[in-house]
Structure 1
Amino acid sequence: MIKPKRLQPGEMVGVIAPASPPNQEYLERGIGFLQGLGLKVKVGKHVAKAYGYLAGTDDERLEDLHEMFNNPEIKAIICACGGYGTGRIASNINYEMIKANPKILWGYSDITFLHTAIRQETGLVTFHGPMLGSDIGKEDTHPLSKEGFNQLFEPINLTYTEEISRLETLVEGVASGPLVGGNLSLLVSTLGSRHELDTKDKILLIEDIGEEPRAVDRMLNQLYMSGKLDEACGILIGDFFDCLPKKGLSLSLEEVIMHYARLASKPSIKGFLMGHCNPHVSVPFGVPATINTFEKKLVVESGIGY
């Protein structure tokens, strides 16, 4: 495990769009938020580009990622938005260069593929948190979403209880292990690839957006059949925004999730505000965490080094 160094006021952070094009108005406000934290901001040269549903070609998006990791002035890399596309560049990333230049990487949704690939190839702790052009730059962004960036300046252990949101125990128990996961669709897309998600003895976080219960059922079944749910030591259910049946007969999302939680038979809690939600609570991936269903509590070690 490699923890990136914490940020200091006055340092420079880089902004990239490794997936889809960000909303430029939101992005500008998001950049203003970073500047308000006392940071300097360097925007990747291809962030404003659009190539269909991608923020530039694969080579262009990869170039921005590599340049930010390779630039010694850049101390953190904040993603502008998700969408689609990080899986297309994962096989061509220079992981040795990243390992030699560890620094903060922040994002979620489609960035899940980068979280998984980079952590498993290099051991670097990365951060699952709201992004500039899809969350922070909106006028109604909850203060809790913005407060999550504080963990980049000071080593802070996160304790998540029902003081933040209502939590529901699905399977009783206590489990400890590195926290991994992210967007369910992206996690499933790693299966069978070089970057296949490793859940062995780990706490797995899942979240998603816009998927009907039958689609969530299909993806959870694939994780179950591939052994990923059995290998995990605990399961956290994040936000599943707009994951409702569109027409016809359907199981509810709750029924689907409960089915696989019981099959996995690992300590499981649902209700975490992590994912496509407002507020969105940020967490580091790859660090030790403990889930306790009896206390309805999650404790996550700081992802920042000194």
Structure 2
Amino acid sequence: MLVKPQRLQKGDTVGIIAPASPPNQENLQRSYSFLEELGLKIKIGDHVQDQYGYLAGKDKDRLADLHRMFLDREVKALICAGGGYGTGRIASQIDYTIIKNNPKIFWGYSDITFLHTAIRQQTGLITFHGPMLASDIGKVDVHSISKTYFNQLFTPAPIRYTSEISSLEALVDGKVSGLVTGGNLSLITSTIGTKFEIDTKEKLLLIEDINEEPRAIDRMLNQLFMAGKLIDASGLIIGDFNNCVPEREPSLDLEEVINHYIRLANKPALKGFKFGHCSPHIALPLGVNVEMDTVNKQLTIESGVQ
């Protein structure tokens, strides 16, 4: 059973955690004013400033911050400072009973995809794929539209994504609905063979990535195809693939690679969505019902809060 977290209200407290790599501290500090403008109070995790190689602290410390914020009754939402690497290292150590008993907003993307998948499939909690504080919101050149989509946390209303937001292209025509799952392609693929393996059966699968050569995208999509994940999906939502260009020649280009697997899957597919490592970055809830209409080039996304 899927569970929608409670909506935010002005005056609520949000918890800031860094479950992956060390966030840019300057950007992170700058992002707090945005949260305050939304009328929110801030509680910062004990280990947000930690660094352990490419990780934001030891596994046990990043895990402790996540557990502590879910247990803290004052905290109404967890917002990730940034992504990078490392959430898969703590996924098997999470006490999912804590999350199930204390459902609240959980927001992030990129490496956080592993936690989105694990949390939803273990607890049923709807989570949010959206721009993070140090990675996006705290940047000097952050797009105003990226900020706008935080409003969905305060008001239960559907999101309608049309070609007015970004240019959309139908790769396979069809009208389809289902629960939305996915996120970062690299992290989706890394769940295969684990107890957190992504379930795409009759769902719309969202994929996006950054800094991966077409040959790497090819390898990952091929693995998903052979694992049945593309065939199982009811439809495919193609987000942003930022800087996914070949570093060596000869090479297929990104479009050729994606189109190859979309044709093999033969499921309704739209591409061009500003979901992922892009600006603006549109946020959406994962686990809610989505209707995709490739003829009219639009996506209607159910609200993620109650």
Q: Could you state the TM-score of these two structures normalised by the residue count of structure 1? A: 0.99
Q: CA deviation at 1:131?
A: 0.2
CA RMSD of aligned residues (A): 0.4
Q: Partner of 1:268 in structure 2?
A: 269
The answer for the alignment partner of 1:89 in structure 2 is: 90
Deviation at 1:23, TM superposition (A): 0.2
1:55 aligns to what SS in structure 2? coil
Q: CA–CA distance in 1 between the matches of 2:195 and 2:32? A: 34
Runs of 5+ unmatched residues, structure 1: none
**Cα offset, 1:32, TM superposition:** 1.5
- Match status 1:50 vs 2:51: yes
- By how many angstroms is 1:43 displaced? 0.4
Match of 2:153 in 1: 152
CA distance in 2, matches of 1:83, 1:31: 20
Q: Give the equivalent residue in structure 1 for 2:217.
A: 216
Equivalent residue, structure 1, for 2:260: 259
Identity of aligned residues (%): 64
Which residue matches 1:297?
A: 298
Question: What pairs up with 1:18-97 in 2 under 5 angstroms?
Answer: 18-97=19-98
Q: Which residue of 2 aligns with 1:232?
A: 233
Choose 207-216 or 30-39, whichever is displaced more: 30-39
Question: CA separation in 2, counterparts of 1:34 and 1:44?
Answer: 16
2:163 — aligned with what? 162
Report the CA distance between 1:282 and its aligned residue: 0.3
Three-state SS of the structure 2 residue aligned to 1:75 is strand
What are the superposed Cα offsets for residues 148-169 of structure 1, whole Å, 9 maximum, x if unpaired? 1000000120110000000011
Deviation at 1:56, TM superposition (A): 0.3
Instruction: Determine the structure 1 residue equivalent to 2:207.
Output: 206
2:109, 2:15 → 1: CA distance? Answer: 16
Q: Which runs of 5+ in 2 are unaligned?
A: none
CA distance in 1, matches of 2:157, 2:150: 11
Counterpart AA for 1:150: N
**CA offsets, 1:208-228, max 9 Å, x none?**
000000000000000000000
Distance in structure 1 (CA, Å) of the matches to 2:98 and 2:138: 31
Residue in 1 aligned with 2:120? 119
Q: Distance in 2 between matches of 1:183 and 1:77?
A: 19
CA distance in 1: counterparts of 2:197 and 2:9, whole angstroms: 34
Amino acid at match of 2:261: Y
Instruction: Kindly provide the amino acid, as one letter, of the partner of residue 212 in structure 1.
Output: E
- The match for 1:248 is 249
Q: Does the residue aligned with 2:89 lie in a helix, a strand or coil?
A: helix
Over residues 15-45 of structure 1, what are the superposed CA-to-partner deviations in whole Å (9 max), with x where a residue is unaligned? Answer: 0000000000000111121111110000000
CA shift for structure 1 position 97: 1.0
- For 2:6, the equivalent position in structure 1 comes to 5
The CA deviation at 1:196 is 0.2
Residue aligned with 2:70, SS: helix
Deviations 1:40-60 (A, max 9, x none): 000000000000000000000
Equivalent-residue separation in structure 1 for 2:294 and 2:41 (angstroms): 41
Give the Cα separation in 2 of the matches to 1:204 and 1:156. Answer: 22
CA deviation after TM superposition for structure 1 residue 238, in Å: 0.2
Could you tell me how far apart the structure 1 residues matched to 2:290 and 2:268 are?
13
Distance in 2 (alpha carbons) for counterparts of 1:48 and 1:33: 20
Structure 1 runs (4+) greater than 3 angstroms displaced: none
Please name the residue that 1:171 is paired with. Answer: 172
Partners of 1:32 and 1:198 in 2: how far apart? 38
Amino acid aligned to 1:145 = S
- The residue that corresponds to 1:140 in the other structure is 141
Q: TM-score, normalised by structure 2?
A: 0.99
